[in-house]
Chains A and B, each alone.
Chain A
Amino acid sequence: MIDLYEVNYFRDSNKIINQVNLHINRGEVVALCGESGSGKSSLLNVMSGLAPGMIGGKLTGTRKIMGEIDADQLFQTFANKIGMVFQNPDSQFINPDVYSELAFAMENMGIERDQMYRRINEMVESFNFEELLQRPITSLSGGQKQLVACMASMILDPELYLLDEPTSNLDEQSIQLLSKRLMTLKQRKKTIVIAEHRLDYLRDLVDRYIIMDHGQLLADIPSAEFWQHSTEYQERYHLRNLFKPQINLSVAPIQQSAENQITLKIDELKFQYPRTKMALKSSQLELNNQDVIGIIGENGAGKSTLLQLIAGLLKPKQGLFWLNQQKLTGKAKLKYSFVVMQNVRMQLFFESVEKELGNGTNEIKNNELIELLSLQKLFKRRPQSLSGGQQQLVAIATALLSNKQFILFDEPTSGLDYETMLHLSQIINKIRQRKVLIIIVSHDLDFINMTCSRVIEMSHGQIKTMNRGQAND
C-alpha cells in the first residue's frame, strides 16, 4: 500500500524527514508515535502525496503510494482512495455547515443524490451526530469539528486512511465510537496510519507501533511485543496514555496564606449561544486557589465557553463575578486573566520565541520554567514556524510567565508528548503556591489526575458534579 525507500523531505532548508524506509501492507493498521515536532504530520503528508505537491519543499528517494509513483495522478480521485484527517480542526472544512461538508466529497465524485442521503444518514448515526447535522461548522466545539473531519474522510469508503491525532480534543464517548468504526474498517482490510499521542484506544486496533524522532524512524515494534514491554517503551520513548484513564486525583488542596488567597465566586451565570437555543447556566460556583481546578465533560458541553466567560472574552447575558468579595467588571476580568486557547496560532505575535516569552522584550526572568519545558533551543525560531505541539508549549510558557491571577488553559496537552506533559504538571505544581488561580479544561485525564486537586464535570451547558480527591463536595 505504501512504500518509502530512502525518503528525505526538506522544507526551508530543514531536513524534516530523514532517510525513511517504510513498507506498509494492505490491511495493516500502523500507529506513528513520537514527541511533538518529531515529523509525524510531515510523514503523513509525504504518504498522502500532499508533500511536496501541495505543501512545497523537496522530496528525494522513492515513494510509491497505492502502486502510484507519480503523486499528481492521485489528486483527481484522491477522495475515493485516501481518507485524510488533519491535526488542526479549524481549517479542514470547505463548506459552512456539517451537512454540505459531508456531501461535498461525494458531490465531487459525482455520486447520485439518493446514495448521498443514505451514506450521510448511516455515517451520522454511527457517530451520534444527528442533532448537529445542520449546524454551522464554526459553532461546533473543537472535538465536534474533529468528528466531522473523521466522518468526512470516511464517507467515500476509501482504501487508505491517514489520520493525524484524530482524538486530541475528543471526549471518551466519541473516542469509543471512533475506535469502533476504525475496528470495522480494519476488519474490512482497510489500511490505516494514525499519528497519535493517546495509545490506550489503539490497543486492539494497531498492528505495528512506529516511533519517530527528529524525522527518523527509531523503532518499528509489533503490537504484541509493544504491549508486553509497554512500560519500558513508555519510558524509553516518552509515550503517553497507555491505559484508559479514570478520574483519580493524586494532588491535594494546599493551604494558601491570607495574602495569597484567591476566591472567585460566580452567581446566577447565564450565557446564550448565538443563533442556537443552547445556553450555559450556573446558579452558583465558587473557585478557590487552594485547588488547581480541572474542567471535564463531553464535546460541546460548554467548557471553553465557561473559560472565556471567566476571562471576560465573552459577555454573559447575566451573572455576577466576585474576586475576594470585590465585584469584577468585564475589563477587570480581562486584566486578571491569561488564556491559552485551543488554537494557539492566533495568540503568538512576535518575531521570535524569546520575544514572545518576554511579551515583546528580550528579558526573561524565570529560567527554571524555560529549562523544564526545554524552550531554550527554540529561542531564535519564529513562533509561527513551529510545529503544533511546540506552539502550544510556547503559549503555555507565556501564560505562566505573565504573572496574572487567573491562568486558564483550554486543552493544553493536546499536542504534547508524555515527558513534556510531566514537566508541565510539575511546573503548575510549583506555580500554584503563588497568588494564582489555575483552571484547566482538558479531556486528558492522566494530566488532570497528576495536576488538579478538584474536578468540575460539565454536561450540556450545566455543571454536573464537583469532585475533590475521591470525595464529592
Chain B
Amino acid sequence: MPTRVNFDPRTKLIIVLLTTLIFILNISFMIEIIFVIFLSCLLMLNGNHKLGVIYLVIFSLLILCNLTIFSEINDSWSILGSFLLIGGRRILPTLMAATFAMTNTHIGEWVASLQKLKLPFNLILPLVIVFRYFPTLLNNTKAIFKALKFRGLITNKFELILHPIKGLEYILVPILVSTDTIATELSSVVFIRGMGNQMPHTSIYANRFQWLDWLVIVVSVLLMIGGIVI
C-alpha cells in the first residue's frame, strides 16, 4: 500500500499559480528541468505514482527530440516541429500542476480552504459544478457508446472515422441536451446539501498546513526567483 502525503488545498493552489507564472516568464533550461522533476516528485508524493513517471517520460522525450531532430532550424518543417515541441514543453508543467491540484483532494476540503481565503461563494459554486461535471460527462459518454453499439448506429471506431459528422451528432445530441439537465440537477444538489451557507464551513478531513506544505512553497518560490535571475 503506497503511502501518500495530504497536501493542503492552498498549497496546491499556490503551485498551480506559480507554475503558470514560471512558464509564462522566460526561464532558463536548467531551472525548467529542475522544476518539472520537482512537480513529478510532488505528483508521486500526492499518490499519482504512475502519472508522475509518465509525465516525466513525456518531458524527456520532448527534450530529446528538441536536442536531436530539431536542434537546428533551417526549413519550414523544422520551424513547425520545434514550435510544437516547445509549445508542448510549456504546457506540460501546467498540466502536471493541474493534475496535482485536482486529484486526491476532496471537494469539501477545497470548499473549506477557498472560503478561508475569503473567496466569494459566487466564484466557488461554479468551480465545484464544473469539476463535478467532468466525471459525469465521462460516465455518460461511456453509456452513450454502449448504447450506440447495441443499437447498431456506430459499432466500431472505423465508422466514427468514416462518418465523423453523423458520429459526432449521435454523441453530442444526448450530451448537449443532458448537460442542461445535469447542470440543473447538480446545482440543485449543491443547494440541497447547503453549500450556500454563508457561515464558515468545516471539513471532516483533519489537514492543515504542515512543514511539508511550507517546504514545497519555499522551494517553488526559490525556483521561480532562480529562473528569473539566472
Which B residues, 186 to 219, have Cβ-Cβ distances below 8 Å to chain A? 186-206
- Asked if B202 contacts A112 (CB within 8 A), the reply is yes
Q: In the assembled complex, which residues on chain A have CB atoms less than 8 Å from the CB atom of B132?
A: 94
Which B residues, 109 to 168, have Cβ-Cβ distances below 8 Å to chain A? 111-112, 128, 132, 135-136, 139-140, 143-144, 146-153, 155
Does B4 have its Cβ within 8 Å of any Cβ on chain A? no
Alpha-carbon separation in the docked complex, A103 to B10 (Å): 21
- Asked if B136 contacts A79 (CB within 8 A), the reply is no
Alpha-carbon separation in the docked complex, A95 to B89 (Å): 33
How many A residues have CB within 8 A of the partner chain?
67
Q: How far is the CB of A161 from chain B (nearest CB, A)?
A: 11
- Asked if B185 contacts A92 (CB within 8 A), the reply is yes
Give the contacting residue for B178; candidates A48, A116, A346; CB below 8 A: A346
- Asked if A78 contacts B191 (CB within 8 A), the reply is yes
Q: How far is the CB of B211 from chain A (nearest CB, A)?
A: 22
Q: In the assembled complex, which residues on chain B have CB atoms less than 8 Å from the CB atom of A335?
A: 152, 155
Which A residues, 337 to 382, have Cβ-Cβ distances below 8 Å to chain B? 337-339, 341, 343, 345-351, 359-360, 382
Q: Which of A81-89, A241-249, A290-298 contacts B (4 or more CB under 8 A)?
A: A81-89
Q: A76-B197, A78-B194 are in contact. Are A107 and B150 (CB under 8 A)?
A: no
- Asked if A94 contacts B128 (CB within 8 A), the reply is yes
Q: In the assembled complex, which residues on chain B have CB atoms less than 8 Å from the CB atom of A78?
A: 191-194, 196
Q: How far is the CB of B9 from chain A (nearest CB, A)?
A: 13
- Asked if B198 contacts A55 (CB within 8 A), the reply is no
Does A252 have its Cβ within 8 Å of any Cβ on chain B? no
Task: Please tell me the size bucket of the interface on B.
Answer: 35 or more
- Asked if A79 contacts B194 (CB within 8 A), the reply is yes
- Asked if B204 contacts A100 (CB within 8 A), the reply is yes
- Asked if B196 contacts A138 (CB within 8 A), the reply is no
Which residue of A has the minimal Cβ distance to B108?
Answer: A107
Most chain B beta carbons < 10 A, residue from A313, A351, A398: A313
- Asked if B197 contacts A91 (CB within 8 A), the reply is no
Q: In the assembled complex, which residues on chain B have CB atoms less than 8 Å from the CB atom of A278?
A: none
- Asked if B150 contacts A338 (CB within 8 A), the reply is yes
Alpha-carbon separation in the docked complex, A162 to B116 (Å): 33
Q: In the assembled complex, which residues on chain B have CB atoms less than 8 Å from the CB atom of A111?
A: 202
Q: Which of B13-21, B36-44, B65-73, B169-177 contacts A (4 or more CB under 8 A)?
A: B169-177
Q: A107-B204, A112-B202, A349-B170 are in contact. Are A48 and B192 (CB under 8 A)?
A: yes
Q: In the assembled complex, which residues on chain A have CB atoms less than 8 Å from the CB atom of B112?
A: 107
Give the contacting residue for B194; candidates A50, A77, A112; CB below 8 A: A77
Residues of chain A touching chain B, judged by Cβ–Cβ distance below 8 Å, are: 48, 50, 54-56, 75-80, 82, 84, 86, 88, 90-96, 99-100, 103-113, 116-117, 138, 152-153, 156, 308, 311-313, 331, 334-335, 337-339, 341, 343, 345-351, 359-360, 382, 384, 398, 402, 404
**19 extra interchain contacts, Cβ-Cβ under 8 A, other than A96-B106, A109-B201, A338-B150?**
A79-B194, A86-B189, A91-B181, A94-B128, A100-B107, A103-B108, A107-B203, A107-B204, A109-B194, A109-B199, A110-B202, A313-B149, A331-B155, A341-B146, A346-B174, A346-B178, A349-B174, A359-B152, A360-B153
